[in-house]
């Protein structure tokens, strides 16, 4: 059945039919019938909704919401983001699509300067540590508490070029607005590089967008700080356990980092990534129950001693199972990180279909770090050599091939 309303769903930015464009083009499009629909993000597409409006679009009768009408819908959608990186990614995608800009960034106020909140793109790790002075464009927007447009940067002395150099990016024009959380001014949102320059209409859209995302951004920042504090406390406990064994210092931190990267490659949700990270941090927590006489023994372990060492997985799972907010997946990750898909692992000799995803991910991360790390008794093996070993073991049924493939992708990308 076809709708009688002439208004398009808020996630449709425009459409093209018979060579004519209504609304505006975006980087993302989907073909439906004779119509090419331009959408803000691919995740927004609802095929059932397209079925109801395609007829109107084919006749050119489907009206597109203007950007100011779309902003409240996007702000409501952003409220579902629990993770800071996820939220920043969505903010950047939506505001760039709304305004037609190449890039966007958010800066927060810190003491006498501003600092960037960076997602995981090319600038990640390059500009977060750069203090942006208050006499910069972003600083001016923050201090003057209003949206400003800078379409010609050639003679603009306030343009802080240090960020462009660090990020290997060329800024041609900028528009920015202050971000408020209630009565608290917390930072600035900037959009960069619109081909035809920014307009007053764009300024209205950005001002509204900044106003509506402020509280969500502030709450997410506070939650992120609290979660990071908890993770640091957990990591301190895990590191203290690692330090009992002089050979495994920093092992838990490394396994957690690798596991989270693997989980992201496997498209785990923000919640699952948080749980995986904590499970990986604590994967060896059960070693607290292993006597030093066995854990730190310099020579070869006896069969009985090795059987005792295996218990650290069961002890760790038992410890986690008594904690209130620990999920079943987190317990299983700790219990199963020494299980192998062919049934040759421990403590229970589980096989592929019986081992949780967390257990399979942490298993690969654990072995990768153990073999590449330099220890007192050995040099670290090369990444290439360890990857080859893991690939062979995956082919022989020990590890999940999908997870080893994800590890290989990370190595090719230089993430490890």
Query: What is the three-state SS of the chain?
Result: CCCCCCECCCCEEEEEECCEEEECCCCEEEEECCEEEEECCHHHCCHHHHHHHHHHHHCCCCECCCHHHHHHHHHHHHCCCCCHHHHHHHHHHHHHHHHCCCEEEEEEEECCEEEEECCCCCCCCCCCCCCEECCCHHHHHHHHCCCEEECCCCCCCCCCHHHHHHHCCCCCCEEEEEEEECCEEEEEEEEECCCCCCCHHHHHHHHHHHHHHHHHHHHHHHHHHHHHHHHHHHHHHHHHHHCCCCCCCCHHHHHHHHHHHHHHHCCCCHHHHHHHHHHHHCCCHHHHHCCHHHHCCCCCCCHHHHHHHHHHHHHHHHHHHCCCCCCHHHHHHHHHCCCCCECCCCCCCCEHHHCCHHHHHHHHHHHHHHHHCCECCECCCCHHHHHHHHHHHHHCCCCCHHHHHHHHHHHHHCCC
**Distance between CA 282 and CA 271 in Å, rounded?**
17
Extract the tokens encoding 141: 């927007």
Longest dimension (CA), the chain: 81
Measured CA to CA in angstroms, residue 7 lies from 3, 24, 164 at distances of: 9, 15, 40
Bridge-based pairing state of the strands 174-181 and 148-150: antiparallel
Measured CA to CA in angstroms, residue 277 lies from 15, 234, 242, 256 at distances of: 42, 11, 17, 5
Residue with tokens 């920015």: 176
Task: Indicate if 287 belongs to the active site.
Answer: yes
Catalytic: which of 93, 194, 287, 350?
287
Residue with tokens 């942490």: 362
The set of catalytic residues is 287
């Amino acid at each position: 059945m076809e709708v009688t309303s002439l208004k398009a769903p808020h996630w449709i930015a425009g459409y093209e039919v018979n060579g004519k464009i209504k609304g505006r083009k975006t980087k993302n499009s989907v073909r439906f019938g004779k119509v090419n629909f331009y959408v803000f993000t691919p995740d927004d597409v609802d095929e059932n909704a397209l079925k109801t409006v395609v007829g109107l679009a084919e006749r050119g009768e489907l009206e597109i919401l203007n950007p100011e009408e779309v902003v409240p819908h996007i702000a409501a959608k952003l409220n579902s983001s629990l993770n800071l990186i996820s939220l920043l990614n969505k903010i950047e995608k939506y505001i760039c699509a709304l305004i037609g800009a190449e890039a966007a960034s958010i800066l927060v106020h810190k003491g006498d300067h501003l600092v960037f909140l960076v997602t995981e793109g090319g600038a990640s790790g390059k500009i977060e540590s750069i203090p942006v002075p208050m006499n910069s464009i972003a600083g001016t927007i923050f201090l003057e508490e209003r949206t400003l447009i800078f379409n010609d940067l050639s003679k603009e002395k306030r343009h802080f070029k240090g960020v462009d150099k660090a990020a290997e990016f060329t800024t041609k024009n900028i528009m920015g607005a202050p971000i408020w959380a209630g009565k608290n001014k917390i930072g600035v949102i900037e959009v960069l590089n619109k081909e035809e320059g920014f307009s007053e209409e764009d300024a209205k859209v950005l001002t509204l967008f900044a106003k509506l995302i402020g509280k969500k951004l502030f709450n997410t920042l506070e939650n992120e700080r609290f979660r990071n504090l908890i993770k640091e406390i957990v990591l301190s406990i895990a590191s203290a356990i690692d330090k009992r064994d002089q050979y495994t210092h920093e092992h838990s931190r490394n396994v957690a980092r690798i596991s989270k990267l693997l989980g992201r490659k496997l498209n785990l949700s923000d919640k699952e990534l948080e749980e995986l990270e904590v499970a990986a941090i604590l994967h060896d927590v059960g070693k607290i129950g292993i006597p030093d006489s066995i854990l730190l023994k310099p020579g070869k372990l006896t069969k009985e001693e090795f059987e005792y060492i295996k218990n650290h997985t069961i002890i760790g799972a038992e410890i986690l199972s008594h904690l209130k907010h620990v999920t079943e997946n987190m317990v299983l990750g700790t219990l199963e990180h020494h299980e192998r898909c062919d049934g040759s692992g421990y403590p229970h000799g589980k096989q592929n279909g019986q081992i949780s995803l967390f257990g399979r991910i942490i298993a690969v991360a654990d072995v990768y770090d153990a073999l590449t790390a330099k220890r007192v008794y050995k040099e670290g093996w090369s990444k290439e050599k360890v990857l080859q070993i893991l690939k062979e073991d995956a082919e022989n049924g020990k590890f999940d091939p999908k997870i080893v493939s994800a590890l290989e992708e990370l190595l090719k990308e230089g993430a490890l």
